[in-house]
Amino acid sequence: MAKKKPKTPIKKVLAKASDFVEEYLKNGRNGTRAYMKVYPDITNPETAKVAASRLLTNVHVSTLLSEREEEIRAKYRLTTDDVMRSLSQRLHFNPKALYKDDGSLKPVTELDDDTVMALSGLEVVEMAGGAKIGGGEGVSHVPMYHKKLKWHDKNVTSDQVMKHLGMYAKDKDPVTPPAPVNVTLKLSPREAYMMALNGPSKAKSRR
């Protein structure tokens, strides 16, 4: 008689479910990646995708997810308006707001709030520079700075906005095929025989 596979302790199952929820929220709600992170023995993405989908429909997991989301919203005081405001700032960002009329880059302190919030990174690198001669100080070092500004990808932002507003819903609706058209013809026995033998056109021509 085959031995029964030992059941996984309930505490371990609950811990795994909690870990899955954390990974799911951490990586931007990618169930496949979250499942493969929590269950490293699963190396097939398709298997992980199916298992993650099944896990997300589990009552216990969906409850954990809802509770964790509420905790995050309460802790960081996040609302739907906050999310939409952030997405709007990224979507309406105009690089011209970064520059002065003479083409030089504005200091960050001179940028408006919407432009600052649309940036994803700011890097300032001090370079060798040169020397300044003259004045009471004689020769002095003049540093040079290389500045890099990064902003969010508008294509990604547009996709996020459309998903948030449910604008992809129509694309996901199943296409209903046209209803079949049934045509009933009243034919004499001779016409039916001729149609079966030669096709509709010849059956009519020999009436």
The angle at the Cα of 20, spanning 17 to 26, to the nearest 5 degrees, equals 145
Spatial contact of 98 and 106, defined as CB atoms under 8 Å apart: yes
What's at 81, amino acid-wise?
A: D
| Helix, strand, coil in percent for the chain, rounding step 5 | 55, 15, 30
Enter the tokens of residue 83.
Answer: 């999310």
Three state DSSP letters for 1-64: CCCCCCCCCHHHHHHHHHHHHHHHHHCCCCHHHHHHHHCCCCCCHHHHHHHHHHHHCCHHHHHH
Q: For the chain, which residues make up each domain, given as ranges?
A: 10-77, 86-156, 182-207
Residue 108 CB coordination number (10 Å): 14
Task: Check residue 22 and give its pLDDT.
Answer: 93
Task: Check residue 54 and give its pLDDT.
Answer: 93
Rounded Cα distance, 207 and 197, in Å: 14
Task: Check residue 58 and give its pLDDT.
Answer: 92
pLDDT along the chain (207 residues), means of 10: 55 84 90 94 94 92 92 83 87 90 87 89 68 58 72 85 70 48 56 59 48
Task: Check residue 14 and give its pLDDT.
Answer: 79
pTM above 0.95, yes or no: no
